[in-house]
Amino acid sequence: MPSEPQDAETLPAAAELTRELLVERPSDRLPDRLPSLRFAGTHERDYLAFAFESLRDTRTEAYRVALALLLVFAAIDVFQATQDFVPLLTPAILAARLLAVAIVAWAQRRVRLASDWSAGHRWMRATGLSLGLMMLVSEALYCHATGQLQAPLIVAGNILMTMAFFFPLGYSFVAGLKIAVVFSLAACLVLPQFMPAAMLADFYRLLPFQLMGLAAAALAGYQQERTLRALFLMKQSVTQMASSDALTGLSNRHAFEPFVARAMQQAARDKQQVALVLLDVDQLKPYSDQFGNPAGDAALKALARAVSQRIRRQFDLGARLGGGEFALFFYDVNVGFAWTVAEDLRRDVAQRLAISHPDSSAGVLTISLGAAVSADGESFEGLYQRADQALYRAKAQGRNQVQLAE
């Protein structure tokens, strides 16, 4: 019997292989309610990785623009300092602005060199939070130090900053929304503490415009993510169609063979055995000739469902190789397991499905199977050839039976 299924973290290369070659189709329908933009299971991680990679160029340009704007603001701060220098407060403003420049420059480098999307997301969120904090600090210090900033200018700046949080950088809409809400609440609660009394009335009167700006930016970000998720679904659908058999929904030969070849390389590194079971429907052509091609297709679909029921672990795979030939691949198993699965499948087809076939000696549609378990250093070609020879013996010795490879 096979050993206990191993966790994906135990076999990261095999897990990545599974995700790369066997792309499950996400939900065909996008979520409708705000803010539940989220796919189920591993599809959400796949989407986030897709978005992170797709928006790489946009993200790079956005960081460059942010750095340029921060440097412009720093230059304005320096000019302002020459006109109205306030001890302690003016240096603090300049320090806050230059700290924002340093954080954005460092984050840009970390995001660009990030080994995966999750690390990139962390640095992008850190960038957004840092920019928002530095802006609030600068506004508060300007108000307290000089009183020169007017309420309309503060609110307009806050709206622009809120819009920036929803710029398509590759992290999720929900992450941007959280940062924008935190920034807006902080602006509403903290800035009035530093404003002159004469400015407060104007600030509170303009505050609804800042909240409307948050709502408008959030709506635009929401629609932008829905569009990107729709593109992700289309890409996944195309990949699925390219790797799946149109009739049965199982993997096709194009996906199956490279998957097994690479999985065997992983098994060799992990010192594990794999099994390959090949099966062929006995006398499928006479059955289709007698009952018609639709009946033959229905029989193949029923057999495909029986095959799928044997594929329960992450690194196992079932496929239709063409015509009435199918294959099952199992990771980390022994000879006993391969025989048991193959014999159980044979009995299931003959006894449970029991598709009537008058030309068959059994009176029902049957299958012949050949099973092979990998030897040390064996290639995929060698394993496939041994399983195929075992299948040939099963056919030659009367069909409706399982033969183990020598």
Q: What is the CATH number of the domain that holds 263?
A: 3.30.70.270
- Where do the DSSP E strands lie in 288-336? 317-322, 325-331
Whole-angstrom Cα distance, residue 278 to residue 269? Answer: 25
* Of 303 and 67, the one with more pLDDT: 303
395, 322: one domain: yes
Of 7-21, 186-200, 362-376, the poorest mean pLDDT is in 7-21
Q: Which of 262, 330, 379, 268 is nearest to 21 (CA)?
A: 262
From 241, 273, 295, the end of a domain falls on: 241
Chain-wide mean pLDDT for the chain? Answer: 82
Say if residue 54 is in the same domain as residue 102.
yes
Query: 89-113 and 56-83 helices cross at what angle (nearest 10)?
Result: 170
Domain stops at, among 192, 221, 241: 241
Domain boundary among 197, 220, 241: 241
If asked whether residues 176 and 198 sit together in one domain, one would say yes
Residue 343 in contact with residue 350, Cβ under 8 Å? no
Together in a domain, 129 and 210? yes
Does one domain contain both 184 and 296?
A: no
Residue type, 276: L
Q: What is the mean pLDDT of residues 256-269?
A: 88
| Same domain? 282 vs 181 | no
For residue 289, being part of any structural domain is answered with: yes
Q: Domain of 116?
A: 23-241
Q: Is residue 3 part of a domain?
A: no
Confidence at residue 365, expressed as pLDDT on a 0 to 100 scale: 96
Q: Do residue 36 and residue 143 come from a single domain?
A: yes
Residues 63 and 210 occupy one common structural domain: yes
Most confident segment among 50-64, 129-143, 270-284: 270-284
Q: Is 259 in contact with 7 (CB distance < 8 Å)?
A: no
Using only C-alpha atoms, the chain has a radius of gyration, in whole angstroms, of 31
Name the pLDDT band for 115 (thresholds 50, 70, 90): low
| Residue 7 placed within a domain | no
Residue 203, pLDDT above cutoff 50: yes
